[in-house]
Amino acid sequence: MEYFILSKDLIDRQERTLADCTKALKAVEQLLIQQNKAILANQLLNVEAACQYLSVSASTLAYYRGRGLPYYRKGKDGIWFRQGEIDEWLQTGKVNRHTK
């Protein structure tokens, strides 16, 4: 039967290596989180998806548009929203009151 004797120096090196790997993995995790946020921020949502995202009806979404929620129009019926702009609008509480 063979026995392995681990020196304190070897154990310390392994602990440092493990700590370095853990630190590197946390950095990669943070980078992936940031990249995911950037991708979602640019994601385009149609009216149905925006309603689901906000958990509101289409009429409430139309009301929000009138109150300054940024949107894009393509063609006659195509209305699109950027998820990041929705989030920003919600966080800032920005209201654009149109006078008619």
Q: Tens digits of per-residue pLDDT, 90-100?
A: 988 766 655 44
Length of the chain: 100
Query: Between 1 and 93, whose confidence is greater?
Result: 93
Would you give the DSSP letter of residue 76? T
User: Which CATH class for the 43-92 domain?
Assistant: mainly alpha
Quick: pLDDT tens for 20-68: 999 999 999 999 998 888 787 788 999 999 999 999 999 999 999 999 9
CB 80 within 8 A of CB 69: no
Q: Give the global pTM.
A: 0.58
Residues 18-34 as b or e (16 or more Cβ within 10 Å = b): eeeeeeeeeeeeeeeee
**What are the structural domain ranges in the chain?**
12-42, 43-92
Query: If we measure between CA atoms, which residue out of 41, 48, 42, 55 comes closest to residue 77?
Result: 48
In angstroms, the CA 48 to CA 80 distance is 10
